[in-house]
Each structure stands twice: as C-alpha cells, then as structure tokens.
Amino acid sequence: MRKILFAATLGMSLSLCAQNVMTPETLWSLGRVGAETLSADGQALIYRVTYFDAAANNSESNLYRLELDGGKITPLSSGKGTEYSVMTLPDGSMGYLYKGQIWKGDWNTGNATQWTNYEPGLDNVRFSPDGTRILFTGEVKTGTTVQDRYADLDQANAYVLDDLMYRHWDHWEDAFSSHVFVADMASNGTISNVRDIMYGEPYDCPQQPFGGAEDVIWNHDGSAIYYVSKKSTGKAYAISTNSDIYAYDLASGMTTNMTEGMMGYDTNPQVSPDGQWMAFLSMERDGYEADKNRMMVKNLQTGELRDLSTFLDESVASISWSNDGKKIWFIAPVKGVEQLHAFDFDSYIRGLRIFPITPVVEGQFDITGIVGEQDGVLFVTRTDMNHATEVYSLALKTKDMRQVTHVNDKIYNSLAQSRVEPHWIKTTDGKDMLVWLILPPNFDPNKKYPSLLYCQGGPQGALSQFYSFRWNFQLMAAQGYVVIAPNRRGMPGHGVEWNEEISKDWGGQAIQDYLSAADWGKTLPYVDGSRMGAVGASYGGYSVYMLAGVHEGRFSSFIAHDGLFNLQSFYGTTEEMWFANWDLGGPYWEKGVQDKSYDKFNPMNYVANWDTPILIYQGGRDYRTTEDQAFQAFNAAQLRGIKSRFVYMPEENHWVLSCQNGLLWQREFFRWLDETMPSAMQYKPKGAKEE
C-alpha cells in the first residue's frame, strides 16, 4: 500500500492559547462520522457525516471519499436524507442505499442514479458472492389488526391484547414482522423471483429493537443464508433472551438451527474467508441479557464448536475476521477503555500457541469499530472523552496509529480541552475501583470547583472513553464542573465477577461504590465539597433516586433521567421481562424477592429521607422505564416540599434524539445546576430570557 499521507492535518496543530470551551450549541454543530467501507480498489475511505440543523430540527447525512494517498476529499452524495450502507455492486461500481433503493455511482465522483425500483423497498442488502442474487430485509404482515376483525370499524384506534410482548423499546408491536428475502438480481438492477425465506413466521430479522445488517449474511459460496432471529412470541418472547442463528439452504428451501441448545443470545455470524468456519457471539444463560458475550467458532463442515473466549475474563463486543482468515479482530472493554485485540486463530487451531490473544493497540481511547483492512493497515473508528468519532489508520506491524478523517478538527482546535485522568480508589469492601476524573478546561488546582458524580446506566454498561452527545463529560467540565465517573460494580472491563455482582443487588455494593467515589472526590483540594451533585440515566437515574434517600448530606443537587423509582410498578409496566426477572430476582409477588429488590433496594421506600433539590427528565415513548416512574418521583418531591423540576419529552424514548430536544435537555441541565450549585464558568445560552 502506498504511503498514507494526511495533508488535512497540516497547519492544524492544537492551539495552546485556545480559550473557547464546549457549549451545547457547539456540541450539536459537530459532524457525526460514520465509517462505511474502503473503496473497491482499496485506495480510498468512504465515510458518512451527519450534521444537525437546530433551526429546522432535523439532520442531513452525506457520503464522502477520502483518498488515502494525498488526503483529497470528494463529496459523493448530496440528496436530502441519509445515504448509507455503501457496497460494491457486481460490476465493481459503488452502490448505496437511499430512500429504500440501491443507487449506483462512481467510486471517485459519486454521480449516482437510482438503480433498483423495487416498490416495497430494500434494507440490509447483501449480494451473493457471484453477484447474481441479492438478500435483503423488509416488513411483511404476519398478524391481525382490529380492522381485519371488524371491517366496519375503520376509524377505531385500539390494540386488543391477549399476550405479552405488546410493545418494545419505543413502539407498539403491530401486525408486521421484518423478514429476510432472497431474489435474482439482473445487471440492469431488476429484482425478480423474490422469495421470503421466513414465510408465514411471526418473527423478526433483524432482531428488535437494535438489530441490523450484521444479523443476515451469505455463506461462502452463496448456497445458503445465515440469519439471526428470536423465534418466539408473546409471553415466551418477553421472558427469554434465546436468539439463534439459522441457515437457509437455497436449493432445498430447508432451514436449520445452527445454535440449537445454546440458550442465550447468539448473534453476529461471521464466515471465515475460506468458508470453513463461522465465528459468532453467544451468551450462555437464557434470560440474562448482560451475560458474558463469548466468542465462538463453528466448523461448517464437521459441526465442531469451540469457545475462544475461555482465554478472556471479559465480554466480547464485536468480531471481524482478518483478510487472510488467520486472525479474528475483536473489541472488548479492559479497565475503562474499549480495546482492540487479535485472536491468533491460525496458531490456535494448529495448537501452536498456549495463549492466542494479544492487544493490537492500547491507549486512553475507545476503539469503536473496524472499517476495513488493506495491505497491513487496519482502519478503525475511535473516540475519547474529548473527541467524537473519527476514523484512524493502524499499521499492524509498527502499531503506528494516525487520524485519517478530520471532520471536527477546526472546532476542537479552537477549544480548551478537558483533562481526563484515571484514578484507582478503594471501595468499602476493599476492592480497587477505577474512577475517571474529568477536569475543567484551563484547570487551576488552586481554585475550588463544584463537582458532579456521574452514575452510569445499564446497569452493566461500560464506562469507557465514550463520547456522548447528551451525557457529554467534556461539556460538563467546560461549564466549570469536576466530573467524577466511577467504574462501580456491574461495569464490564474489570472481569466477569465484577460485572455480575450488581445483579439482584442494585441498591447494595454498587451504591456504596458511588458513595466511596463521592467521599474520595471531596478529599481533592480543588473540589468544593459543599457543591457536589449526582446525575445519571436509566440505572443511573435509579442510582440518583436511591442516593437521594441514603446520601446523608453528601450531595447538594440531583438530576435523574428515565430512572427507576418504584420497582414494583417498574416490573408491572416494563417490556423486557427477562431483564427484570434476572436483575431484580423475579416478580414482586414471589417470596424472598420482595424483601430485597422491592423493599430494601426500592428508592420509593426512602422518600421520607429526601431533602435535596432534584431535576427529573422523562421520555414519553420510553417503554423500558415508563413515564409513571418519573411522575411518581416528581409528585413525591413536590409533596415533600423539595425544590424540584420535571422536564417531560412526549416524543422521546429512553434517549433524547431530536436536535432541539437535545439542546433543551442540556440547557435545562445547566440552568438547574446554576440554581442549585453554580459554577464560575456557568453556561448562559443565547436567546435565554431573564425570568
């Protein structure tokens, strides 16, 4: 591969005198980079950038080509909406999906025109190895509506429910399922002989609610399709995590369960370049959505199955075969970062190595995805707490890592950056716990700063070097707050035992870990112990509600988003019952469960101790942690006479996705902090009116 030049970096060195700091408006002006693929000739990176328009409250995504030799950037698309899923078409042209169709263009210039005209629309497209067939996914009707039953009630708007699971994440289940289709593909883009390989089944592929193109692939020679599906419905679906990987044979039309008897999540099938092995991810225990995610391989000729993650005391996040099939690249959390590893499959399978796992690159950043591999160079996406996603090149021999895309350099180079430090502290049970400390820009150790204890959600979500556009540590620190972010019990990256200790113990050691981090933070000479807040969402919101009742004066302000306040009503309204059954220990009416999860660890039972101002956020379309949780918490605070505020967003789900709601979220966040524990660097939004 020719020497990679990075001309875009010339003259863009970090300004030592940068005085601007991150604001919500600046954060939402950043381009959000999505890496697509390498061009067919390997000479260019194709990536997508999304920009948000606050005034219009929408976003626009377009594709770009970056030449690896010289750094020239060429826009490849300009249509309104999102062009995505860049692929190589059978004749070598560039293709991508746009408005439900494949568009065909030139790798160098774009100039794409619509190639397919399949009226139902296409998604998750993959071409067969010989290019004569195409697989894709689409919606088909597999159930019954009210109007099907009563044709004269065409204006009726109701759901008639006989079973669980009637809604999921942010939408109600309807009469449609997402199925996998296979069809013939002509050179002129005509699709014919369409076959639904899941015909008549009321199941989904991709999986709901977050599955994607990784859930369906071709085998090595195009004779079969492998796809992921959870083939259960109703109550069985609501209490089980058992998804499987299925093989559909095109010649016979027969479907075979390739992971029969494996009872947890089985996902992410990846066929080796020689077609002999399928690597995939698998959890062992049914009902445990945060079980160790094992890296498995199955011999497609003999059926031999091996667990490669026995060498790793951690969950694997993603996998990808190397081009030569000798290695499996995988990403896993390790001590507060998402790290890229190599599994030496060739040496392992030949019995030449005792321990076949090695880190590929290490540092205070997250590797979030693998884009492609070319001539000994891996292209990956990377973030840290001061920088949103960009694409990097990684020379495998030298470990030299260089930034390839520079979408947000101009903005970041104008900002004074936060300082991010790892610290290790002792917990109440004598364990070592990592705490990320994020210090304000232009930090002065002789000053006193207010602080925020950040409570991570999940509850088994990694607190790594991620970059969030809502819970953004850079933004919080830029307003003059020291952020204390502990890797408390339950977080991956510190071994399976540490990760599992939170299940059925939500209000136990994990809450003590938070209090340990708060007490440690107060010992720092630059932290004003009288101005410490606790903030978090989901389980982090639960943590805030719990801390509000047990903190014994440690905090002066609380902020909870989509948190769990009443675990009994949470059990009665949430959708994924497997989660509640595993993490809480079962339903509230079972003996032995009530005393701990629904009594001792239930935040509502400590409301009598609440005495501290609290801000509550809630999304109306959050069916995981439903709106009644926030209503109950706000009502309790108001009736207790506690300063409290409620920000209700009826169209948002468990997250905040729209631009103006995101800006509102952050403005209210800092307005609340200004009222309850102000900072000398407090953010004042443009256009805000004096009250």
Write the pLDDT tens digit of every residue in 641-679: 999 999 999 999 999 999 999 999 999 999 999 999 999
CB 528 within 8 A of CB 678: no
pTM of the model: 0.95
The residues, ordered by sequence, that sit 6+ positions from 526 with a Cβ below 8 Å of its Cβ are: 443, 444, 445, 446, 447, 448, 449, 482
Length of the chain: 691
| pLDDT for residue 433 | 98
Q: Where are the alpha helices (DSSP H) in 345-483?
A: 345-349, 409-412, 473-478
Which domain covers residue 432, as residue numbers?
419-676
Does 86 map to a domain?
no
Contact status, residue 634 vs residue 616, Cβ threshold 8 Å: yes
Give the pLDDT of residue 687.
Answer: 61
The residue-averaged pLDDT of 483-508 equals 97
Number of domains in the chain: 2
Burial per residue of 3-34, b for 16 or more beta-carbon CB atoms within 10 angstroms, e otherwise: ebebebeeeeeeeeeeeebbbbebbbebbbbb
To the nearest 10°, report the CA torsion of 582, 583, 587, 592. 100
Which residue in the list 538, 556, 557, 597 is annotated as catalytic? 538
User: Rounded CA gap, 380 and 357, in Å?
Assistant: 19
Q: Please report how the helices 509-522 and 539-550 are oriented relative to each other, as an axis angle in degrees rounded to 10.
A: 70
Q: Is position 478 within any domain?
A: yes
Domain edge (last residue) among 198, 229, 258: 258
Q: What is the pLDDT of residue 690?
A: 57
Mean pLDDT throughout 675-685? 84
Digit-coded pLDDT (tens) for 92-148: 999 999 999 999 999 999 999 999 999 999 999 999 999 999 999 999 999 999 999
- Asked if residue 531 is part of any domain, the answer here is yes
Domain end, chosen from 243, 258, 273, is at: 258
> Does the annotation count 505 as an active-site position?
no
User: Cα separation of 487 and 283, whole Å?
Assistant: 23
Mean pLDDT of the chain: 95
Assess whether 341 carries a catalytic annotation: no
What CATH number is given to the structural domain containing 535?
Answer: 3.40.50.1820
For the segment 437-464, the average pLDDT, to the nearest whole number, is: 97
Question: CB atoms < 10 A from the CB of 461, how many?
Answer: 17
Query: Does some domain include residue 345?
Result: no
Provide mean pLDDT across the span 621-641. 98
Pick the catalytic residue from 61, 177, 654, 679.
654
Classify residue 645: in a domain, yes or no: yes
What is the residue-wise DSSP string for 80-147? SS--EEEEE-TTS-EEEEETTEEEEEETTTEEEEE----TT--EEEEE-TTSSEEEEEEEEE-S--HH
Q: What are the angstrom distances between the C-alpha of 265 and each of 230, 239, 259, 489, 515?
A: 9, 13, 10, 23, 34
Confidence band of 680 (pLDDT split at 50, 70, 90)? confident
Lowest mean pLDDT among 193-197, 236-240, 352-356, 365-369: 352-356
Q: Is 232 a catalytic residue?
A: no
- Evaluate whether residue 349 is within a structural domain: no
218, part of any domain: yes
Q: What is the pLDDT of residue 674?
A: 96
| Residue 154 in domain | yes
What end-to-end distance do the CA atoms of the chain give, in Å? 62
Q: How many CA atoms lie within 13 A of 248 on its CB side?
A: 20
Domain closes at, from 233, 258, 283: 258
